[in-house]
Amino acid sequence: MRLAQALERAGVADDAIVLGIPRGGVIVAAEVAHVLGLPLDIVVASKLGAPGDPEYAVGAVDADGEVSFARPGAPDALLIGEAAIRGAEVRRQLGAYRVGREPLHLDGRDVIVADDGIATGLTMQQAVAYLERHGARSVTVAAPVASPDAAVRLRAAGITVVSVYEPEDFTAVGSFYRDFNQTSDDEVVHALQEAAREDPPTASASAPR
């Protein structure tokens, strides 16, 4: 897998953990974790879509309920409502995907956080902020494809970005996949269960939720 190879070239720590952003990012993260021989878990963050154009991200929310918006100033009622809806989905995903497993310990760990692509970078930046709040020593962002503009913004914020493609003609993440059908909850749970069977017994420990 080229993304795993790019991460190796970037010199990621050999005791890092790999976290995927559900849903599609977990499938990417699972492959990275398998190739690099690292433990897998999730970090849940969700983009906030613009009113009338849900595919256009205008903010993001994480598992702590922290919300950020792309534009400064007080958000309007529609965005506040969207944040509440997406926050509820984040909580649902955490419950559905954990299925009794304890999260990997983050404090003092080097973390790779993967998604299936980076369009605006807002969701990824929110995930990074969550990981830093919970004690990650370092965070490396990874994706097969990234918008050059988003990659520039993330790097300007001091975030390490590793990607395979940053095409100048970037339009949408899905346009760079042959099959971009939505990943199901069952596929996410299966990927996590398969990775857990490969993990060494000491990989998991209690962590702040």
| pTM for this prediction | 0.91
Residue type, 37: G
- Could you give the 3-state DSSP secondary structure of residue 17? strand
Calculate mean pLDDT across residues 77-81. Answer: 89
pLDDT score at 140:
98
pLDDT score at 208:
34
Torsion region of 52: left, alpha or beta (phi above 0 gives left; psi -120 to 50 gives alpha): left
184-194 burial, b if ≥16 CB within 10 A, otherwise e? Answer: eeebbbebbee
73 or 81, greater pLDDT: 81
Strands 53-62 and 67-69 turn out to be: antiparallel
Extended strands (E) in 98-172: 110-114, 138-145, 160-165
State how far the alpha carbon of 113 is from the alpha carbons of 43, 83, 84, 116, 171, in Å.
8, 22, 24, 11, 22
pLDDT band at 199 (very low <50, low <70, confident <90, very high): low
The conformation of residue 173, written as its DSSP 8-state character, comes to G
State how far the alpha carbon of 194 is from the alpha carbons of 3, 22, 40, 138, in Å.
20, 16, 10, 26
Report the C-alpha gap between 174 and 194 in whole angstroms: 26
**Closest C-alpha among 84, 141, 91 to residue 113:** 141
- What CATH code is assigned to 2-45+105-198? 3.40.50.2020
In tens, the pLDDT along 88-147 reads 999 999 999 988 788 999 999 999 999 999 999 999 999 999 999 999 999 999 999 999
